[in-house]
Amino acid sequence: MVMHFDDEAVRSALRWDDLIRAMESALTDFSAGRVMQPLRNWLAVEEGSRYLGVMPAATSDAMGLKLVSFYPRNAGTPIPTVMAMVLLMRPDTGEPIAFMDANVLTAMRTAAVSAAVTKHLASPDSRVLALLGSGVQAKAHLEALSHIRKFDEVRVWSRTREHAERFAARHGAKATTAEAAVRGADVIVTATPAREPILQGAWLKSGAHVNAIGAPMPSWRELDDEAMHNVVVVESREAVLQESGDVILSDARIYAEVGEIFAGSQASPVSETTVFKSVGIAVEDVAAAKLVFDAMSKKHDSARRIGGGP
């Protein structure tokens, strides 16, 4: 029987600590060549407004496919700009075993990857977090990053001031300008659909760490050239050189894939100003989906035993 898990079930199954460890493991395997995964295939239904992405990956213990729609045209409406589903299969037989809504999964795995990278690259004494963007990813990053660093101050900026103020009121943050949010911050997250830079390298203090997860197209940017000329790490060299305008247009030098840092084959440049440019890759989704499947299967089996079923 193919199981189905909606977003609520996914959220109930995922725990930040487990998910962060799973992302470290998945990306370590990816950089070691133990993952089969092509580049994401984007279908531009309408350039600049409507896209459909196909993302398959296979590992030794999981195989799956994510379908994701990216609709920037939905910004400002009740409909999310990113919506997704994951189909999970047994890697030994190819049998489908589960499909799940992946809106929550995408938000949580993205933030968990940033948290894993931040754990390795940000100063242990980091106390000030700046969020540029106040949507789903900002909330997920605040939750995930709070598991690996203790922040005394959280600052938030949004193009729409009202959105930033609402986020600040809900999460004990301070709504401010982009520059004021970034200056002096230890960890910065950019989570926007920006097409032109919203963060200037001149604002970054020495030793700050940036998780740049927005601007997911080769002609879009969140960070200016000065920011991108710091120490840049990525999930996949091949993916960012095809998909990330921040990397392509700045001609940034890539220091390492994060899986190489997790494995210890590349040093963690904690004292440097660092930028993690994330585009999101399929193995993250498959690894997260496997966590959901295992957790929900265990819960189902336990309930069946308690109920005395077959």
Whether the predicted pLDDT of 307 surpasses 60: no
**pLDDT band at residue 310 under the 50/70/90 scheme:** very low
Q: What percent of the chain has pLDDT over 90?
A: 90
Contact 201, 244 (CB under 8 A): no
Q: Does domain 123-281 sit in CATH 2.60.120.260?
A: no
Residue partners of 94: CB distance under 8 A and separation at least 6: 63
CATH class for the domain made up of 3-105+283-306: alpha beta
DSSP, collapsed to helix, strand or coil, labels residue 224 as coil
Question: What pLDDT digit, counting tens, does each position of 244-253 carry?
Answer: 999 999 999 9
pLDDT of residue 97: 96
CA distances from 145 to 184, 245, 258 (A): 18, 25, 17
Q: Residue 48 — very low, low, confident or very high, per pLDDT cuts 50/70/90?
A: confident
What's the whole-model pTM score?
0.94
**Does residue 115 have a pLDDT over 80?**
yes
- pLDDT at position 301 over 80: no
Where are the domains positioned within the chain?
Answer: 3-105+283-306, 123-281
pLDDT tens digit sequence for 177-207: 999 999 999 999 999 989 999 999 999 999 9
Which pLDDT belongs to residue 309?
46
